[in-house]
Every structure is written in C-alpha cells, then in structure tokens.
Amino acid sequence: MWIHGNIILFLNIHLCLYRRYIKRVKKYEQARLEDVLQPGLRVAFYARVSTEEQDCTMQENAVEMFLGRYGCEIGEELKYIDSAVSAMKIPLKEREELQKLISDAETRKFDVIVTYKNDRLARSVEEHQEIRKRMRELNMHIVVSSTHELYTVGEIVPQTVKDGLTQIEAAITQERTRDTFRSKAKRGKWFGGKAPYGYTYRVIEENNGGEKTRKEKFVCNKEQQKVVKEIYRLFEIGYGLQQIANEIKDRKLDQNMKWSKEKIRYILTNPFYCGLMSMNRYDNGVLNDQNQWVKGTVQGVTPLFTREYWEYVMKLFENRKKRKIHSRDYSTPFLLRGILYCHQCKELMTTKNQEPGGVKYTRKKTEEKRRVYECKNCDFKLQAKTIHERFQSEYLPYVLEQVTQQKKDHVELEIEKRLKKEMKNLKDANKKLDEKIVKLNQQIEELSEEIKSYYEKEIIEDEVLEFMKIIMSHRTNKIHELNTVKDNKIGSQERIDHIAQTIQQKKYLPPHEVLNGFMKENVDTQKLRVFLLQFFKCIHVASDGNLVLEINERLMGL
C-alpha cells in the first residue's frame, strides 16, 4: 500500500508539471505583441551588418522608434552587434554576438529580444528553425520591428514561408552579383579587387563641359612587369613553380612581394597579360578548365605578351600539370633522354655516365665524352656528345624549317583540317546548348508560375509548404544550371572565333622567338629540351647513329 501510494503521488506530481508545461507552451504560442512588450521589461537588441563599410545605426533607430510605441527601450548593455558578418557565409555557431545573445538568454539577462528584420538573424530555413526552437525552450520571445511580428513557433507556417523567401532572396542577390561580374568580364571591364601584378588600377574623373565622367585606367609598373617577363622566361625553359619563386627571392627582384608557388601559378595562368579579362579561373584554389572561364578583351591596355605566346605557355603549364612533363626532366645533360629509342628493338635507350669508380664529374670535356646512350637488349652504346652534335647539325635545322615555314605544306594542311573539324564539333555542340537554354528557360518559367499560384492562396497547408520549398530549391538549381550552360556557350563561341582567326592568320605554330635561339652556337640546352620533349613523340636511333624522327603535332596546334 505504501509503494502504491508513492507511485500515485509521483504520477500526480508529473501530471501537474506536464499541465503547467502545456499551459506555458500555449501561452508562449498565443502571445501577442502587447503581452510581450510591456513597460519596464529588459529589452535586448540584435543587429548584423555584412560589411565593414555598413553600420547598424539605421537598424537601431528603427527599433527604438518601434519600442517607443510600447513604452520600452533598449537596455544600455544589451546591444549585440555582429559586424562584417555574412549570414550566407558565416555559420550560425561562428557568429560571436549571436551566440553571446543566446547564452545571455539562457541566464535570463533580459526579458525579450528585438531585431530589425528576420534576415538579420539568419538566411537559411534550417538556421531560422534552430533559433526558433531554442527560444521556445527558453521561453524567450524575439520581436521583428520592421513587420511588427513575433518570431515564434506559433507562426510557424507564415514564418517558414518568409524564411524560405529570405533564403531565395539571398541566393538571387548572389546570382545577380555573379551575373554582373560575368557581364563585366565578357566586356573586358574590371569588376573589382586588386589589379594584376605589374599594373595599378585607377579611376580618373574628368570634367567635360560641366559633365563629370569616370574613366578606368590600368597604369603599367615597369619594374614589376620585368619580373613577370622573367617568371614566364624561367617557366618556359623548365623551372618549376617553387624554383621560380626561390629564384625571384634569391635575386631580390621584388622584395615587397611574398613570393610563393601559388603566386607564380596565378601570374602564369592570368590571361590579363595577353589582354584578356577573366573570371571563374579558380574554384577554391583549384584551376578550372579554360572552357569554364569567362573572358573578354580588355580595352586601353597594352598586353605584355601576344595571345599566342600566352597560350603556348598555358599549354606547357597544362602538360606539366597532367604530368606529361616534369620540370626536373629539363636539367639533365642528356638532351634526348626519355625520347630516344632503339630503332631495332623499339625499347627506350638508357643513359649512363662511365666515369670510373663512380667519381663525380670533374672536367667538362671528360663529362661529354663519357656520357652514353645504351640499348641493353641490342648490346650497343653511343656517345652522347656525338648523337647530340649530329642531331643539332643534321636534323634540327630541317625540323625547325618545317615548323616555322608558312607555306601550305602537308603539316599545315593537316593542322588546318584538324582545327576545322574542332570548329565544326564546337558549332554542333553550341546548337545543343541553344536547345538546352530554351528548355531550361521554359522549365524556370513553369516553376515560377507554379510558385506564384501557391502564394495567391489565402491559406497554405503544411504539406503544400514543404512542396513549395522543394519547388523553390529546384528552380534555384535550374537557374544555376542555365547560367552554367550560358557560360559554356560563351566559352565555346570564343574558342570558335579564335580558331577562325588562327586559320585566317596561319597562327598554327609556336612563337618564333621560342625557336630562334635553337641554332645558336651556345644554345640554351634546357630551353631546347623543353621544345624536344613536347615536339617529338620519339626519336629512333640505329647502332650506326642514324636517327628517325617522329613529330608530335599537338604542339603545332597552338
């Protein structure tokens, strides 16, 4: 009987507590502004601004005017301001003042919270729901002054719709910003940020007959541009990115700059130096394919390099990135290592230094004579110096002549044929992209109409609301897809235009300045080897030293 009585008492206590909880929840959910905002209550104010240039004065003034109608005011030490914080970029848990606000709410430091708009608290539906749930647990109300509404669970349906609209509005704002940047990039206009190394961006205001005009101008920094040219030169002859950064630092070419391989990569891959504005080159530090770039010709800037030379360097960069060529392969004294094969067994010739006893090289003449190419299968060796001299005197002049000539010989016709085929494929692809653009526009329009039809209803059921969120998300994805397709078409059309110009002007071949030095007596062997590794698929050598060359036409398609 005693145990039975205690159980009944225990159940009665918990039933009483549960009834109090239900009563408190109902009171919370059914609260009105007049119940929440009463004279003498401690009021906390929360504000957020996205950039350092903005301030919260307007938000605070609007909230104070609103509170005055209810005989309330913001507490002296109850202002919580998140400055230069984007709700889209900074997660809820990383916003210091908002977290402090929630922490102080837990200790009942104030009685109610007021903010200017609900998008000051969060931008995503999930974060809105998280804040609302926590405030309900704490029995703490948040008031939105701009709409004279309670930010409460009792208003979950309309609030969720507003939360969704807030998220969509932020996404649209971001998309508009991207579209503005894309448009500027395509027109060759500067869209903000720091000017490329070697240039200074200035805006000059002019007064023409009482009418003020703004003129954008890029001023050349001659000293920095010398460094840029040296970076390209070093990369061209085979230096790696970190090697170039070390070289620039060691030679103290620009001590004001912190040189790193990332900085070198950014300079090498920037088409601004050949007169092109670009956007979307990098995504989280990773270089995108060129067909994803948005490019346009910069007006009023003298390019540092020709477009053909920059593309040639980019071709080198892409080949090394794909590990077709490694920078350390250039430093070998064996000019033909990696491309010289035995003509009889078709195996790669190995390289060997015959210095007796493994002693390091001591005299240059001895080095040259004792370096050999060897085929172990066919058991023959060839002096490296002999092969190098024969290649450079008997074969290289003919190859360079074939590369640099401008007549419509077999090689040129083959390249032109390949370029025309590529242009035809791109045009066919563009037709499909046009069809996709039309289809996506139709889908976006249909989704917009469907969303609009739901908004026109007086009452929105919970199930319909969830469906609306899915439709809104689907429309946003379609808008992103449409913009991507449009960018791909623009990139494809630019490639078509460039191919047409290349065919018209016969710009098939590497820049002549790259090849001019190869016939000099004191040739730069590293630079020559860069050319050989990319231009030749392989060179076959017989035991008597005769060579058979197989040319890689990919390089000639630049």
By annotation, the residues acting in catalysis are: 50
Cβ contact 375:342 at 8 Å? yes
Rg (CA), the chain: 35
Cβ contact 291:495 at 8 Å? yes
Q: What is the rounded CA–CA span in Å between residue 507 and residue 441?
A: 39
Cβ contact 80:107 at 8 Å? no
Strands 547-551 and 536-541: antiparallel
Q: CA angle at residue 54 from 48 to 58, to 5 degrees?
A: 70
Q: Is 68 exposed, middle or buried (0-12, 13-18, 19+ CB in 10 A)?
A: exposed
CA-based torsion, 400, 404, 407, 408: positive or negative: positive
Q: What is the DSSP letter of 348?
A: B
Cβ contact 552:535 at 8 Å? yes
Q: What is the rounded CA–CA span in Å between residue 102 and residue 333?
A: 69
φ and ψ at residue 515, rounded to 5 degrees: -100, -20
Q: Which of these, 175, 183, 177, 200, lies nearest to 272 by C-alpha position?
A: 200
DSSP, residue by residue, 3-15: HHHHHHHHHHHHH
Cβ contact 148:66 at 8 Å? yes
φ and ψ at residue 113, rounded to 5 degrees: -115, 140
Interaxial angle between packed helices 222-236 and 307-321, expressed in degrees from 0 to 180 and rounded to the nearest 10: 50
φ and ψ at residue 267, rounded to 5 degrees: -70, -45
